[in-house]
Chain A
Amino acid sequence: MGGISKVRNSLGFAALALALLATAASGQFTSFGKNKVQYAEFEWQKMESEHFDVYFFAEEEVLAAYAAQMAERQFADLEIKFAHTVKRRVPLVVYSSHIYFEQTNIIPNILPEGVAGFTEYLKGRVAMPLSGSYPDFERVLHHELVHVFTFDRIARVMERHSILDFRPAPLWFTEGLAEYWSSEWASFGDMVIRDALFARRLVPIAQMYYINGTYQMYKEGESICHFMADRHGKDVFEQLFGNWWRAETFAEIFEITTGESLEKFDKSWQYHLRKHYLPDIADHDPPNELAKARTKTGFNIKPEIAYGDSVGFYHFRNDQGYTQIVHSRFDDGESKIVVEGERLPIFESLHPLGTRPSVSPDGKLLAFSAKSRGRDHLYLWDIEKNKQVQDLAFEGMVAMATPSFSPDGRRLVFSGSDQAGLTDLYLVDLEDESLHAISHDLYHDRDPDWSPDGQRIVFSSDRWKGGRHGLYNLFLYDVESEEILALSHGEHNDAQPRWSPDGSEIVFSSDRDTMYNIYSVRLENGSNGERAGTRRLTNVLTGAFDPVLSADGETLLFSGFQSGGFQIYELEMTASDSAKVQWQAVTAASAEPWTLQGLHGESQIAKRPYERKMGLDIAQSQISQDPEFGTSGGIQVALSDVLGNDQYYFVLSHIAGSRTGFFDGLNLALSRLHLGQRLNVSWGVFRLNDRFSSRFGRFVREKRTGAHIGLSYPFSRHDRIETRLSLRRSEIDRQFEGRRLNGWLANNFISYTHDSSLWVPTGPLEGRRYSIGLGQTVDFKTSRRFNITLFGDYRQYVRLSQRSAYAIRLMGRRSTGDVPEFFSIGGSWTLRGYPWRSIWGSKMILINQELRFPLVDRLLIGLPFGNMDFSAFRGALFLDAGNAWNDDFDEWRGAFGVGARLALGGVFVFRIDGARRTDFKSVEGDTRWDFFFGWDF
């Protein structure tokens, strides 16, 4: 192996440690990235059932006991379905709110709001939040446990047959099976499949990777599993897993098991769907055929009409990756941004799927909920002045949704979730901000809307017997008597009720005919008491949601699902056909229609304080050979506790060819990272003898022994301040300048980093990133100052269209002192057209400008062994300028050119840039090419 291999191997061993250690150069420059902020700190405990270790904090003990009991029931169910048992104990980490769940350190990823839970395969951990609905919690838990069983079943089958490679199942199959075995086929599945068929967007099994991880993939996978069970028997899955060892691909295993090729099965499935769903077109229409689309691009939902506003309507919009509240005009469709969300800590998330904005009766204020600083707030926004006028947050209230003004505009009703995860309705007085709970029980009360006469609040809830199975009906709350009445009855989901402006009827969305449509219910007082007459207003093929009536009651706005997205539609209201009205009595709601009791007694579940037992995350070893430096070998081990809050990294390597004996060749580093609190703390000790090319491309050998401590405090998801201190005994051989140095060095730095960028597969497209910092290195024994280093890095991404952007980076570094640090530029990531790290000095400046645009959305290359699919093929035009120097800045060096980027499996980006150098007076004739792997700056 040549020198380059040596460098990579040495760095490979030390990579983990170096990421944490404060070394002379690397420690002073922070990397970008968003923060997972620990806003709330929990006292974790553990509950042990027969097969599960349930981790919870004190406020959610009831949820944890319920989760343990449900998990045991579902475990027994899955034992039968898989004909298999999982012998290991399953760690189950529960969170009473999605907001708390987003703090988890079990996986490093930032969790989007759409993630309802996950199963992590390294330690087999399941983590999930309560969304407010206990039945939904059960369903998600069941889903995740299917993953636990699937993984274990495959692993045991392979182990049984002494086959070392793990053959993972395709994602559509694992998720489809988890959906199939955790719940009944539901209206949302019909909606997605029907839409995919009619919009010709149904993806065959062979091409399912096109939609990997999407909701459509989940529903198609579930549909395929239903069809598989119908065609080959319900035990076909147990048979598939039993045969997993017999072939290498899912298609082969499927054919061995069923005798049918997956290709033929795929065609049969598609034919079956067409036969089943196509007749629906006879008496249903897609939303755009029966109503007028009022929005056309992006994702638009939750329309809200101000009573005095005939010009337009408010709604959530997301067409560029961030959610906004906008006001769209009826006449020309022009939209004006009212509230810009998800760019600043104050509106970190607007929860577009779980809430809606509300306009005050006088049309002056907009109320909405947003996540800010670790919990939800209710904000009042002055529409005319375009600014926030009130910020409501309540002690113990974690999540809030769907505010609705009282007719006098002095109060709000909303749906709120406490630390235990109970979701109830609350009233808040906007003057004194006092809070009053309408309910406080385990039922999931949501979507409240205040009647125009102020006497009643209509809402959707699972507080009826069918609610135990996750079905919602409508209820009325009498503000004066505090009585709750059942407005609708039936085995279906009624949601998002809104009063008409005159208070004569309520419009809502319901799946009572198996498709979500808009219905209207009118209240009347008859001889037998109050009754409710319901009629259907829409007859869409896919789904209609979020209804709201115009001020004159003549038109209806709703969100419609079509072609895989949501738009807002307007429908002229028609006169009621009395023959089609179905009447039901309005009755008193049952006080306790269902309970969580009837499970095993809690006495069977032992509780213990949480113990930070460390488990292995990574253990790997490596040996490399180099003709110059001989043999290197080493191991690296990463350990963490169940919650991922405490992490240890241990690196041990040895350079066998060292000329100075065994100990000199030994590299040893231990680091600890504590992420369980908002202030992240790292410390470690190290003894390293590195022989690698330094970051500026020249050889520096440093033998160092010491310790470090680092602190990182995130202000929000986007901003953090970091500081680090290391003390070490160091012997440095700066071979590139023929200088040897010894000393007791103290190195400290402080930096501030911001990152609000929005990414596409090849790199950032919108937002901003910057980092500034200051560091110094001194010999604390002799008080000799080695250097002071200042650095700054600013990157701005200006969106030009949906998928193109102008990006600029300004970067500067300066190091002064007896032993300055050196910086290098040149190559694909910095100054294109110049060799990799070829320009270096103690001062550096770099300016990059780049136009980023799409070339091909999906590139499928046919190869003899199969197709290779590239999800993003994008282009760039760039102009770079910069230099690095020691004494005096001499000239700008520059390059301009064109490049292409290809995303490979979401992990790598292949880059190619063709550049011509320029000194800004003339242009060189040769085009120089840079090939590299890495994201755009």
Chain B
Amino acid sequence: MAIACMAFFFIVGCGEKVFYLGEVGTPMRAAMGVGPEPPLQLLWERQLDGAPLGGVVFAGSLALQLSTSPSLHAFNRHTGAKLGKKSYDELACGPGVLAGALFLLAVQGGEPGLLAMDRRTLEERWFHPGSFCRAPAVSGDTLLVVDEKGTIDVLRASDGEALWQVALEERVRVGVAVGEDLLFAGTNEGTLLALALADGDEKWRQELGEALRSRPLPAGDRVFTATASGKVVAVASDGGAVLWQQALGGLLTEDLAVGAGTLVAGCVDRHIYGLDTATGEVRWSFETEGVVRSSPAITGQTAYCAASDGYLYALELASGRLLWKYKVNGPVLAPVVLYEGLLGVVSEERTLYIFGRR
């Protein structure tokens, strides 16, 4: 049995060949009402063996963090106890994602593609070729991935079978997003598209003039995105009409966050912005001391965002007032993640921090 453990490098309970990765559940990102309110306490911090690739993924009782080494680190999300690590031969190209019973990893190297592994055993289930460096969107048993050439593949998560495929014929630098029955994608040419989730039929497209660099964010009757120069755009989700545009100071975070009528985005001009989702008006801005590349997350009243100045900031969602901040040991580029009363943030100094309320 010990041999089996060593073979898998993943020592989460070595009683069997099965390595349990927590309860099935979808990791929560940018969701409201599930995170803690400040002030937070640092529950635990752990060192990684490489720079973080994406944010922490919460799965049942586990906190999983992918690193560029590339390794997948598993910790007990409550105690921080190190449960194991699995290293990969191929270089990882994007953040890891949990989808039902699968853990998905985009690899590049010999043959780039999306590697789906059993979340319990980490055995390979299927492999889908393509250059996928953006996190897939998950909708039930459906995976939606877009490669850098702009081909959207919709796969059945359980077996990797392709359900439909659409070639946008424009390169893509941001991941796709899923609304109620629509899939949204933004291209380098500045096209925002809505496709039917069922079959990929194009429902509408809107030309926004320059490369889209923030993943479309559907919220209510509108979809938000942002361009390479830092222009935030809101379009109607039913027809794609532009509702408003707001130019900010530069490239915005890859993911935007919306809550309580406020759209929150970090910017490379060292600011975190809060925009009125109805009008696009800048309600508030908060100046940090570094470039902001870490995507924000929102709870009921609070926006959390981290910056390359090494601070995790908690801002009042309504006003942008600083409620609380915490200095971690280095710049933060990976997104802030909220999950069931916990907040995870990981620094470029290879340290994962989990905050909460004791």
Q: Footprint of B on A, CB under 8 Å?
A: 76, 79-80, 83-85, 87, 156, 159-162, 232-235, 238-239, 245-246, 256, 258-259
CB-CB < 8 A to A79: which residues of B?
268-270, 291
Q: In this complex, what residue of A is CB-closest to B229?
A: A234
How near does chain A come to B316, taking the closest CB pair, in angstroms?
26
How near does chain B come to A393, taking the closest CB pair, in angstroms?
49
Residue B205 at the A interface, CB < 8 A?
Answer: no
A161 touches B68 (CB 8 A): yes
Q: In this complex, what residue of B is CB-closest to A234?
A: B228
Chain B, residues 160-197, CB within 8 Å of chain A (1/0): the string is 00000000000101000000000000001000000000
CA A161 to CA B93, docked complex, whole Å: 10
A160 touches B228 (CB 8 A): no
CA A862 to CA B50, docked complex, whole Å: 41
A85 touches B171 (CB 8 A): no
DSSP majority for the B interface? loop
Q: In this complex, what residue of A is CB-closest to B213?
A: A235
B210 touches A85 (CB 8 A): no
Interface size, B (range): 20 to 34
A85 touches B50 (CB 8 A): no
B148 touches A85 (CB 8 A): no
A159 touches B51 (CB 8 A): yes
Chain B, residues 211-238, CB within 8 Å of chain A (1/0): the string is 1010000000000000011000000000
CB-CB < 8 A to A85: which residues of B?
290-291, 308, 331
How near does chain A come to B311, taking the closest CB pair, in angstroms?
13
Q: A159-B51, A234-B228 are in contact. Are A258 and B69 (CB under 8 A)?
A: no
CB-CB < 8 A to A232: which residues of B?
188
How near does chain A come to B23, taking the closest CB pair, in angstroms?
32
B291 touches A235 (CB 8 A): no
B293 touches A83 (CB 8 A): yes
Q: In this complex, what residue of B is CB-closest to A259?
A: B171
Q: A84-B291, A259-B148 are in contact. Are A233 and B188 (CB under 8 A)?
A: yes
A80 touches B210 (CB 8 A): no
Question: Which of B50, B68, B331 is most buried by chain A, counting CB atoms within 10 A of its CB?
Answer: B68
CB-CB < 8 A to A80: which residues of B?
249-251, 268-269, 291
How near does chain A come to B338, taking the closest CB pair, in angstroms?
24
CA A657 to CA B270, docked complex, whole Å: 60
CB-CB < 8 A to B250: which residues of A?
80, 83
Q: Footprint of A on B, CB under 8 Å?
A: 50-51, 68-69, 91, 93, 108, 131, 148-149, 171, 173, 188, 210-211, 213, 228-229, 249-251, 268-270, 290-291, 293, 308, 331, 348
7 residue pairs bridging A and B, Cβ less than 8 Å apart: A80-B269, A160-B51, A162-B50, A232-B188, A239-B173, A245-B91, A256-B148
CB-CB < 8 A to B51: which residues of A?
159-162
CB-CB < 8 A to B291: which residues of A?
79-80, 83-85
B68 touches A160 (CB 8 A): yes
Q: A233-B188, A233-B210 are in contact. Are A258 and B268 (CB under 8 A)?
A: no
CB-CB < 8 A to A235: which residues of B?
211, 213, 228-229, 251
Partner of B108, one of A83, A162, A246, A258: A246
Partner of B91, one of A84, A161, A238, A239: A161
CB-CB < 8 A to B91: which residues of A?
161, 245-246
Q: In this complex, what residue of A is CB-closest to B69?
A: A162
A83 touches B268 (CB 8 A): yes
CB-CB < 8 A to B348: which residues of A?
156, 160
Q: A80-B250, A83-B293, A259-B171 are in contact. Are A233 and B69 (CB under 8 A)?
A: no
A258 touches B171 (CB 8 A): yes
CA A655 to CA B223, docked complex, whole Å: 72
CA A161 to CA B88, docked complex, whole Å: 13
Q: In this complex, what residue of B is CB-closest to A156?
A: B348
Identify the 5 closest CB pairs spanning chains A and B, nearest first: A80-B250, A235-B228, A160-B51, A233-B211, A83-B268
How near does chain A come to B327, taking the closest CB pair, in angstroms?
14
B331 touches A87 (CB 8 A): yes
How near does chain B come to A350, taking the closest CB pair, in angstroms?
46
CA A239 to CA B251, docked complex, whole Å: 12
CB-CB < 8 A to B269: which residues of A?
76, 79-80
How near does chain A come to B172, taking the closest CB pair, in angstroms?
10
CB-CB < 8 A to B213: which residues of A?
235
B188 touches A83 (CB 8 A): no
CB-CB < 8 A to B293: which residues of A?
83
How near does chain A come to B112, taking the closest CB pair, in angstroms?
9
Q: In this complex, what residue of B is CB-closest to A79?
A: B291
Q: In this complex, what residue of A is CB-closest to B171?
A: A259
CA A246 to CA B107, docked complex, whole Å: 11
CB-CB < 8 A to B251: which residues of A?
80, 83, 235, 238
CB-CB < 8 A to A259: which residues of B?
148-149, 171
CB-CB < 8 A to B149: which residues of A?
259
CB-CB < 8 A to B229: which residues of A?
234-235
How near does chain A come to B146, taking the closest CB pair, in angstroms?
13
CB-CB < 8 A to B188: which residues of A?
232-233
CB-CB < 8 A to A258: which residues of B?
171
CA A89 to CA B131, docked complex, whole Å: 37
How near does chain B come to A81, taking the closest CB pair, in angstroms?
8
CB-CB < 8 A to B268: which residues of A?
79-80, 83
B68 touches A162 (CB 8 A): yes
How near does chain B come to A536, taking the closest CB pair, in angstroms?
39
How near does chain A come to B227, taking the closest CB pair, in angstroms?
9
CA A238 to CA B93, docked complex, whole Å: 17
Question: Which of A85, A232, A234, A256 is most buried by chain B, counting CB atoms within 10 A of its CB?
Answer: A85
* Sample of 16 more A-B contacts, CB < 8 Å, known A85-B291, A234-B229: A76-B269, A76-B270, A80-B268, A83-B250, A83-B251, A83-B268, A83-B293, A85-B290, A159-B51, A160-B348, A162-B50, A162-B51, A162-B69, A235-B211, A246-B93, A256-B148
B228 touches A233 (CB 8 A): yes
Q: In this complex, what residue of A is CB-closest to B52?
A: A160
CA A76 to CA B50, docked complex, whole Å: 28
CA A76 to CA B251, docked complex, whole Å: 13
CB-CB < 8 A to B270: which residues of A?
76, 79
Q: In this complex, what residue of A is CB-closest to B210?
A: A233
CA A85 to CA B269, docked complex, whole Å: 10
How near does chain B come to A62, taking the closest CB pair, in angstroms?
28
How near does chain A come to B216, taking the closest CB pair, in angstroms?
17
How near does chain B come to A249, taking the closest CB pair, in angstroms?
16
Q: In this complex, what residue of B is CB-closest to A246?
A: B108
Question: Which of A233, A245, A259 is most buried by chain B, counting CB atoms within 10 A of its CB?
Answer: A233
